[in-house]
């Protein structure tokens, strides 16, 4: 068993042992190493990078939308192009950027924050990334080949059904959703296991950082929400491909069934993006307020409550469908109720800033911007929770304004705060503060200039998803203003990209802990070594990095010659078992390719679902092939027994 | 165009926000410029939510800015047992106030919803509205079959009388929305939804499809025209009549063009052989102020452009282009413009 022997330099690693540990946990070098990588940091970095590429693509689509709407009767885009572009914008931002980037950040940060050497299922983790990548490439290949989906990011049937969307456009959308579901479910499972079973000794439930709690809640939300859209997108694909009639009213199907299934996933999805973002904020504020977070327990309970209540809101997307009023009133109640845990969090954040001594570095600026935008988006959220008001606001630019305040304000802003905060940990270099401030102010002003006027456009009758409007509507000036704001956001993102590339080359070296932060990831080098921690730390409080002395106890006794990970108990994080993790493998990539062939061929012929398993079988066999323990590992195990 | 002149807003001058908000009320399709009791109720709710929301926003952000200013001046963090207790009191207080505001909002919301549901009463004029890609079919329903008729895109209603709108969809989901009169209701294939409204002022109220429905979702508008009861009764009588066979030769040629080309395959003109229900009923086309789902004025020029090449006006629309010789077009337009 691993022991938690303190003050025993004898048990600590010699430089040679450290080198061995490094070799054991490293991904292989070169191209082969790149496709076989299973280190959570390598996978997460490419995940985050890919997600940001999709963020930029989604942003370009937004720019095209705003250019088209800048003046009435604009002919920049025809309706066919416009419909594809706004569908791609929504689909990209929700499925290829929003959910994946949050899970990717968690894949990077959670193992470091809980003090373990790798994520729980490293090969599965790699599979998740490859599946997501194939899904994203598939969607964009379709778009480039003029087969981009054009029925909106929630693909309401019957418009998205076989009769009114001929061709393969909606099939491409449905299968992309399937790929991203697989990736999200994979990430959720491995994050839950990592958090529950691989925490450093001493990190009992009450000492888990808020962000890690947020990821745990999010992962459970993913686990319960994703199957609903998986079912829905499969039913849609079947309606389109093999002539089932799930959504066809003429044959006893029901178009409203789609809306229920979709929003049962779609509303929690908002919280899949928001809950980890709130976690970022709760772990960033104490660092820059230079004070412990006020109300840790309240914050965690708020996140848990948000996770639960998020499943009781979906009908507020359907207030105009003619559902019974009594039924709708429950969803109004739930939609108002979710403002309470959000309010509690905002009050705790403000209280901590008030009681602390804030240091206005870029991460804190983004956090402050977040609070302002989130309060605004939250209040309009309370407004649209009201059935009568929503019957006016629904499907207008008021909703567009609300959802962007919530998505950009409550998800992208904390994400940028997190990137500015953890970039030094990931790369070893700090991002430029000066460019960071430009980035923040352009972004903050841009978001408000873009989206605030849209509230008024909505109340003035401008419906969403219109490719043009007549000059007589009087919507021209506010739309132009909105487009100017979008240009500011564009410049701000360019500043961010420049900042990332300049800082990678000549940024200030970060050191282990540039911010004086409190969580465990700052207790190791920047960037962290492949094994994360030479000695797994032993945690004695909620702020381990602030509370640890130089002679704090560490874990010794894990093997260096093979990938040993310490498993601890769920409640109290008492050492429980030692588990050997698998090493690099190309099997995840091959399995992902087999899945890709299955679903992509499935768009064109049902035979795809026959070919797929034939390909999956050998790749899964390769993955699961039993491994003989190398001599060194056997010797180590025998010695320990 | 057929849009009425903007009306002065009724925004309270209390808040700076209201100034911009009143710009909304100046809009032709304003949700806060009600012309009937339903939209009026909702507008009241809208003002309540906007004002309460603005106040809450200002107070919360005020606290945030104060917190940053106060924190920035601290030499030492405010921590310890007493500090935590002090902060806890404030946070619990703020949460209690939030909860109270939400409860009041909930009760007000239920009361408004209840009031809106009460407007459903039996003596209403019933109009069945069917959404098509991308136009509106309107059938006036009466127990007496001889008092039923059909029109499209322009829905006349009597001022002061309750109107019951029964909505259906012919193809995909649409949503029926006249902001000045009521919130929207979806048209869903396989379902019949019902909404009630009453126009208390005569006028022309702009409506549009609010649920994305394909290429021409942006140009699927309609008008609700509220007439004083006597005028409405006259209009109703006129609409019940079938078309009169044209007397002069040009229009007779025009009628032949209509019956002999593709027009008659989709459109109906009561009193003639044309009886198809694929496109809008044209029996009283000339009595309408607009064409192309209330997006173009019904003038001879626009009608000519629309007949020849609808795709240039509304790309993706199901009406095909028509190649007509100039004299045929001239005759057809004369005929169509005679369909009063």
CA A341 – CA B99 distance, rounded (Å)? 10
Residue with tokens 């619990």: B92
Provide the pLDDT confidence category of residue A11 given band limits of 50, 70 and 90: low
Tokens matching residue A86: 């706004």
C-alpha A153 chain-centroid distance: 18
Task: Give B240: exposed, middle or buried? Use CB within 10 Å, 0-12, 13-18, 19+.
Answer: middle
Tokens matching residue A390: 């929503």
For chain B, the average pLDDT equals 90
| Nearest partner of A192 among A170, A212, A175, A216, judged by Cα | A216
pLDDT at A13: 81
pLDDT at B332: 96
Please check whether residue A468 touches B, CB under 8 A: yes
Q: What DSSP character marks residue A520? A: G
Q: Tell me the shortest Cα–Cα distance from A197 to chain B, in angstroms.
A: 32
For residues A429-449, average pLDDT? 97
Note which residues in 106-125 of chain A have CB less than 8 A from chain B. Answer: none
CA A615 – CA A613 distance, rounded (Å)? 5
CA A130 – CA A180 distance, rounded (Å)? 10
pLDDT at B218: 95
Please check whether residue A477 touches B, CB under 8 A: no
Q: Which residues in chain B have their CB less than 8 angstroms from residue A460's CB?
A: 23-24, 27, 29-31
Sheet holding B221-227, edge to edge: B154-158, B221-227, B203-209, B174-178, B182-187
- Residue B201 pLDDT more than 80? yes
Q: Which residues in chain B have their CB less than 8 angstroms from residue A256's CB?
A: 188, 191
pLDDT at A4: 42
Q: b or e along B301-321 (b: 16 or more beta carbons within 10 Å of the residue's beta carbon)?
A: ebbbbbbeebeebbebbbbee
Going from the C-alpha of A128 to that of each of A192, A271, A272, A598, the distances in angstroms are: 15, 21, 17, 16
Please check whether residue A358 touches B, CB under 8 A: yes
- Residue A148 pLDDT more than 90? yes
Alpha helices in A405-469 (DSSP H): 413-427, 433-459
CA A197 – CA A142 distance, rounded (Å)? 41
Are the beta carbons of B211 and A164 separated by less than 8 Å?
no
pLDDT at A483: 97
3-state secondary structure chain B: CCCCCCCCCCCCCCCHHHHHHHHHHHCCCCCCCCCCHHHHHHHHHHHHHHHHHHHHHHHHHHHHHHHHHHHHCCCCCCCCHHHHHHHHHHHHHHHHHHHHHHHHHHHHHHHHHHHHHHCCCCCCEEEEEEEECCEEEEEEECCCHHHCEEEECEEEEECCCEEEEEEEECCCCEEEEECCCEEEEEECCCCCEEEEEECCCCEEEEEEECCCCCCCHHHCEEEEEEECHHHHHHHHHHHHCCCCCCCCHHHHHHHHHHHHCCHHHHCECCCCCCECCCCCCCCCHHHCCEECCCCEECCHHHHHHHHHCHHHHCCCCCCCCCCCCHHHHHHHHHHHHCCC
ipTM above 0.90, yes or no: yes
Q: Which residues in chain A have their CB less than 8 angstroms from residue B179's CB?
A: 392, 459, 461
Q: What DSSP character marks residue A357? A: -
Q: Which residues in chain A have their CB less than 8 angstroms from residue B29's CB?
A: 460-461, 473
pLDDT at A548: 79
Note which residues in 332-351 of chain A have CB less than 8 A from chain B. Answer: 332-333, 336-337, 339-340, 343-344, 346-348, 350-351
Mutual angle of helices B326-337 and B300-308, in 10-degree steps: 120
For residues A241-254, average pLDDT? 92
Decide if A70 contacts A479 (C-beta within 8 A): yes
Question: What would the pLDDT profile of B148-186 be if each residue is shown by its tens digit?
Answer: 999 999 999 999 999 999 999 999 999 999 999 999 999
C-alpha A426 chain-centroid distance: 17
Share of residues in chain A with pLDDT > 70 (%)? 98
- Residue B229 pLDDT more than 90? yes
Pick among B32, B40, B71 to test the A interface (most A CBs inside 10 A): B71
Q: Which residue has the higher pLDDT, B201 or A557?
A: B201
Note which residues in 395-414 of chain A have CB less than 8 A from chain B. Answer: 395-396
Comparing A216-230, A571-585, B107-121, the range with the smallest average pLDDT is B107-121
C-alpha B94 chain-centroid distance: 40
Comparing A191-195, A366-370, B68-72, the range with the smallest average pLDDT is B68-72
| Nearest partner of A499 among A564, A440, A577, judged by Cα | A440
Output phi, psi for B244, to 5 deg: -95, 135
> From the list B95, B171, B194, which residue is nearest A164 (CB)?
B171
Q: Compare all CA atoms of chain A with the CA of B4 and give the residue at the minimum distance.
A: A472
Q: Tell me the shortest Cα–Cα distance from B274 to chain A, in angstroms.
A: 27
Provide the pLDDT confidence category of residue B121 given band limits of 50, 70 and 90: low
Question: What would the pLDDT profile of B285-334 be if each residue is shown by its tens digit?
Answer: 999 999 999 999 999 999 999 999 999 999 999 999 999 999 999 999 99
Tokens matching residue B327: 């004299």
pLDDT at A481: 96
Tokens matching residue A634: 């056997």
Question: What would the pLDDT profile of B28-82 be if each residue is shown by its tens digit?
Answer: 788 889 999 999 999 999 999 999 999 999 999 999 999 999 998 988 888 888 9
Size of interface A-B (CB pairs under 8 A): 263
Q: Which residues in chain A have their CB less than 8 angstroms from residue B26's CB?
A: 474
Residue with tokens 């929690």: A268
Note which residues in 494-553 of chain A have CB less than 8 A from chain B. Answer: none
- Residue B270 pLDDT more than 70? yes
CA A226 – CA A265 distance, rounded (Å)? 6
- Residue A6 pLDDT more than 80? no
Provide the pLDDT confidence category of residue B23 given band limits of 50, 70 and 90: low
Decide if A476 contacts A461 (C-beta within 8 A): no
Question: What would the pLDDT profile of A372-409 be if each residue is shown by its tens digit?
Answer: 999 999 999 999 999 999 999 999 999 999 999 999 99
pLDDT at A635: 80
C-alpha B32 chain-centroid distance: 14
Pick among B94, B189, B289 to test the A interface (most A CBs inside 10 A): B189
pLDDT at B26: 53
- CATH number for the segment(s) B249-336: 2.60.40.420
pLDDT at B20: 55
Q: Compare all CA atoms of chain A with the CA of B74 and give the residue at the minimum distance.
A: A357
pLDDT at B4: 44
Pick among B169, B218, B317 to test the A interface (most A CBs inside 10 A): B218
Radius of gyration of chain B (CA): 27
Tokens matching residue B124: 């209403």
For residues A15-36, average pLDDT? 90
Please check whether residue A356 touches B, CB under 8 A: yes
- Residue B13 pLDDT more than 90? no
Q: Which residue has the higher pLDDT, B122 or A560?
A: A560
Please check whether residue A254 touches B, CB under 8 A: yes
Question: What would the pLDDT profile of A69-119 be if each residue is shown by its tens digit?
Answer: 999 999 999 999 999 999 999 999 999 999 999 999 999 999 999 999 999
Decide if A273 contacts A337 (C-beta within 8 A): no
Q: Tell me the shortest Cα–Cα distance from B21 to chain A, in angstroms.
A: 7
Cis peptide before A527 (omega within 30 of 0): yes
Q: Which residues in chain B have their CB less than 8 angstroms from residue A387's CB?
A: 109, 113
pLDDT at A1: 38
- Residue A423 pLDDT more than 90? yes
3-state secondary structure A77-136: CCHHHHHHHHHHHHHHHHHHHHHHHHHHHHHHHHHHHHCCCCCCCHHHHHHHHHHHHHHH
CA B301 – CA A579 distance, rounded (Å)? 81
Dmax (CA) for chain B in angstroms is 99
Provide the pLDDT confidence category of residue B117 given band limits of 50, 70 and 90: confident
Residue with tokens 């025993």: A8
Are the beta carbons of A354 and B71 separated by less than 8 Å?
yes
CA A291 – CA A354 distance, rounded (Å)? 10
Q: Tell me the shortest Cα–Cα distance from B44 to chain A, in angstroms.
A: 9
pLDDT at A12: 76
């Amino acid at each position: 068993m691993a022991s938690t022997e303190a003050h025993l330099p004898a048990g600590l690693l010699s430089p040679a042992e450290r080198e061995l540990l490094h070799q054991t946990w490293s991904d292989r070098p070169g191209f082969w190493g790149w496709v076989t990588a299973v280190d959570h940091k390598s996978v997460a970095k490419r995940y985050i990078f890919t997600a940001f590429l999709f963020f930029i693509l989604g942003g370009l689509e937004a720019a095209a939308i705003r250019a088209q709407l800048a003046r009435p009767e604009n002919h920049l885009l025809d309706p066919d192009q416009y419909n594809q572009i706004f569908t791609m914008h929504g689909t990209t931002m929700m499925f290829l950027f929003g959910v994946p980037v949050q899970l990717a950040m968690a894949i990077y940060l959670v193992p470091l924050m809980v003090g373990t050497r790798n994520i729980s299922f490293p090969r599965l983790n790699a599979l998740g990334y490859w599946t997501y990548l194939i899904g994203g490439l598939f969607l964009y290949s379709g778009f480039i080949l003029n087969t981009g989906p054009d029925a909106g990011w929630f693909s309401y049937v019957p418009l998205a059904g076989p009769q009114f969307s001929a061709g393969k456009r909606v099939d491409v959308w449905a299968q992309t959703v399937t790929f991203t579901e697989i990736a999200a479910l994979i990430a959720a499972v491995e994050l839950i296991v990592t958090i529950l079973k691989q925490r450093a000794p001493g990190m009992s439930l009450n000492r888990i950082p808020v962000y890690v709690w947020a990821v745990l809640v999010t992962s459970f939300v993913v686990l319960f929400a994703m199957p609903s859209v998986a079912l829905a997108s499969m039913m849609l694909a079947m309606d389109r491909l093999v002539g089932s009639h799930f959504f066809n009213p003429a044959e006893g199907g029901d178009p409203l069934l789609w809306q229920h299934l979709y929003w049962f996933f779609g509303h929690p999805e908002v919280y899949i993006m928001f809950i980890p973002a709130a976690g970022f904020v709760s772990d960033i504020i104490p660092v820059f307020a230079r004070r412990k977070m006020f109300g840790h327990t309240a914050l965690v309970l708020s996140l848990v409550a948000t996770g639960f209540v998020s499943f009781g809101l979906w009908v507020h997307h359907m207030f105009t469908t003619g559902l019974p009023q009594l039924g709708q009133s429950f969803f109004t109640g739930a939609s108002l109720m979710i403002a309470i845990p959000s309010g509690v969090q905002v009050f705790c954040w403000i209280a901590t800033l008030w009681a602390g001594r804030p240091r206005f570095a870029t991460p804190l600026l983004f956090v402050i911007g977040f609070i302002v935008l989130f309060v605004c988006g939250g209040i309009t959220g309370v407004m649209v929770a009201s059935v009568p008001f929503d019957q006016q606001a629904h499907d207008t630019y008021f909703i567009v304004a609300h959802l962007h305040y919530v998505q950009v304000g409550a998800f992208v802003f904390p994400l940028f705060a997190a990137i500015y905060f953890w970039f030094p940990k990931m790369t070893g270099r700090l991002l430029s503060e000066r460019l960071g401030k430009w980035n923040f102010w352009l972004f903050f002003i841009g978001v408000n200039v873009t989206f605030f006027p849209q509230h008024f456009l909505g109340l003035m009758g401008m419906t969403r998803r219109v490719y043009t409007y007549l000059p007589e509507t009087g919507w021209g000036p506010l739309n132009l203003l909105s487009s100017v704001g979008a240009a500011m956001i564009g410049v701000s993102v360019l500043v961010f990209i420049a900042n990332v590339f300049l800082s990678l080359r000549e940024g200030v070296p970060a050191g282990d802990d540039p911010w004086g932060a409190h969580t465990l990831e700052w207790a190791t080098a920047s960037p962290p070594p492949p094994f994360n921690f030479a000695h797994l730390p032993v945690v004695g409080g909620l702020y381990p990095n602030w509370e640890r002395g130089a002679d704090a106890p560490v874990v010794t006794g894990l093997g260096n010659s093979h990938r040993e990970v310490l498993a601890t108990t769920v409640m109290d994080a008492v050492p429980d078992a030692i588990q050997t993790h698998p090493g690099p493998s190309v099997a995840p990539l091959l399995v992902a390719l087999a899945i890709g062939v299955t679903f992509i061929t499935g768009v064109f012929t049902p035979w795809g679902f026959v070919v797929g398993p034939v390909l999956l079988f050998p790749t899964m066999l390769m993955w699961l092939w039993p491994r003989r323990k190398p001599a060194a590992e056997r010797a180590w195990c025998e010695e320990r027994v | 165009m057929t849009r009425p002149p903007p009306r002065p807003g009724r925004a309270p001058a209390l808040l700076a926000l209201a100034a911009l908000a009143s710009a909304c009320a100046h809009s032709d399709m304003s949700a806060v410029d009600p012309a009937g009791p339903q939209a009026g109720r909702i507008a009241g709710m809208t003002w309540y939510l906007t004002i309460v929301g603005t106040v809450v926003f200002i107070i919360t952000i005020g606290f945030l800015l104060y917190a940053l200013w106060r924190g920035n001046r601290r030499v030492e963090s405010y921590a310890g047992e007493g500090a935590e207790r002090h902060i806890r009191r404030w946070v619990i207080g703020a949460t209690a106030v939030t909860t109270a505001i939400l409860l009041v909002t909930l009760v007000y919301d239920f009361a408004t919803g209840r009031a809106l549901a009460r407007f459903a009463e039996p003596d209403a004029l019933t109009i069945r509205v069917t959404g098509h890609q991308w136009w509106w079919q309107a059938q006036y329903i009466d127990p007496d079959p001889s008092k039923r008729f059909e029109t499209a895109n322009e829905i006349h209603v009597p001022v002061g009388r309750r109107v019951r709108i029964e909505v259906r969809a012919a193809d995909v989901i649409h949503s029926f929305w006249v902001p000045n009169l009521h919130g929207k209701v979806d048209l869903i294939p396989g379902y019949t939804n019902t909404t009630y409204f009453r126009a208390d002022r005569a006028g022309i109220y702009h409506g549009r499809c609010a649920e994305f429905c394909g290429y021409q979702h942006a140009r699927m508008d309609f008008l609700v025209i509220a007439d004083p009861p006597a005028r409405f009764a006259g209009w109703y009588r006129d609409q019940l009549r079938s078309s009169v066979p044209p007397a002069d030769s040009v229009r007779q040629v025009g009628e032949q063009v209509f019956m002999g080309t593709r027009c008659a395959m989709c459109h109906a003109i009561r009193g003639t052989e044309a009886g198809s229900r694929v496109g809008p009923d044209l029996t009283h086309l000339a009595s309408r102020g607009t064409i192309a789902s209330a997006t173009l004025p019904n003038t001879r020029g626009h009608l000519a452009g629309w007949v020849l090449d609808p795709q240039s006006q509304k790309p993706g629309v199901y009406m095909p282009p028509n190649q007509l010789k100039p004299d045929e077009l001239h005759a057809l337009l004369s005929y169509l413009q005679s369909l009063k």
